[in-house]
Amino acid sequence: MEQIQTYVATLGENGELLIIFGAALGMLLLVYGLSSAATSGNPAADRLAASGRRRHSGQDQGILKPVDRDPTGLMKSFVPSSDAERSSLQRKLKQAGKGGPNSLLRFSMKRIGLALLLPALFLVLLAASREAPQYLPQGLVRVLSGMSNIGVFQVLSVLIALGYFGPLHSLNGKVKERQQRIQEGFPNALDLLQISVEAGLGFDAAMTRVGNELTRISPDIAFEFLSVQHEVQAGRARDAALIDMADRIGLDFVHSFVNVVRQSMQFGTSMTDALNIYSEELRNFRELAAQEKANKLPVKMSAVLASMMLPALILITLGPVVIRYVNLFSEG
């Protein structure tokens, strides 16, 4: 208590710093409280998920989740008002592997919280540099104290934009990373699925077996396969579950795989033959994609080589001429 009183006494009569600190802390607690209220769990879904785990429950953990409901009341003001924008954001969250209960609201609260917290921290540092500069590094104090009002406004604008749009950029990066992992591991999963079907397993049993086998190697694919099987076991139509899996992944060849499986089951053709043909097409697709990248490489390298070689060529070509003219004018 005595240390606190001593610290308050060093601030003098001007209590602006304490007010700013209190406002920033109150805003942080408000954002945290609203986020906690919006992410309350569903006890029934938790009990169902706990009762559905097998003895080796590591591969199934997190598959059964409560249904993602649209926010209502006060929480509705924190999410995008446009249905198209809200659906697009929900799709990106699912493609990034974050499609849980109230995922859209949590992500929106994160964006708003960062957009408010970053400027608040900057204002706290700015006030501290003017009221209590002895507690900050001198270099930072010189930079902050020398800023004009226009400079402060520009920094605040950049921080607000960074806090609001930064999580969206990070989400797009996570979507691409997850799709890249699935794209690299899907041919192996398809081979295992084909072998399982040829061994006599049904399609559902084969997907379950492959999902369990790929838990450590390709957890994203294992999650998607096991999610489909849990939905089918819960009574959902297989076609709808497979289409949702393709939408969650967001890759064209996964949509093609789902169409191959649906058509094979609809017309009664051999699942083994269908998987063999599709796996061959997928390998051809990967080979063509590799050839396309190889053909683009010389074009990409030409710009780099030109930027590296042109200055040297210009120097070699014009250097002697420049030296000759310099010597000529110096002699004259």
Nearest to 158 by CA among 111, 118, 110: 118
| pLDDT value for 158 | 92
> Is pLDDT above 50 for 32?
yes
| 111 lies in the same domain as 213 | no
Give start and end residues of each alpha helix (H) in 54-198: 83-95, 103-131, 138-145, 149-198
Find the Cα–Cα–Cα–Cα dihedral 127, 128, 130, 135, rounded to 10°.
180
> Is pLDDT above 60 for 82?
yes
Q: Mean pLDDT for the chain?
A: 77
pTM of the predicted model as reported, rounded to 2 decimal places:
0.65
| pLDDT value for 327 | 82
SS (H, E, C) 179-239: HHHHHHHHHHHHHHHHHHHHCCCCHHHHHHHHHHHCCCCCHHHHHHHHHHHHHHHCCCCHH
Cβ atoms of residues 97 and 223 within 8 Å = yes
Cβ atoms of residues 98 and 133 within 8 Å = no
From 35-39, 40-44, 327-331, the region with the lowest mean pLDDT: 40-44
Residue 111: φ, ψ to 5°:
-65, -45
| pLDDT value for 20 | 60
Range of the domain at 109: 16-37+76-147
Does 90 reside within a domain?
yes
Residue at which a domain ends, from 249, 267, 285: 285
> What is the 8-class DSSP label of residue 70?
P
> Is pLDDT above 50 for 58?
no
Count: domains in the chain: 2
Which is higher by pLDDT, 106 or 58? 106
Give, rounded to a whole angstrom, the gap between the first and last alpha carbons of the chain.
85
Residue 232's domain is classified under what CATH number?
A: 1.20.81
| 20 lies in the same domain as 119 | yes
Gap between the Cα atoms of 183 and 95, Å rounded: 13
Q: Mean pLDDT: which of 87-96, 108-117, 294-303 is highest?
A: 108-117
pLDDT, tens digit (0-9, with 9 covering 90-100), for 149-207: 888 889 899 999 999 899 899 999 999 999 888 888 888 888 888 888 888 888 889 89
Gap between the Cα atoms of 177 and 179, Å rounded: 5
Does 3 reside within a domain?
no
Q: Which residues contact 77 (CB under 8 A, 6 or more apart)?
A: none
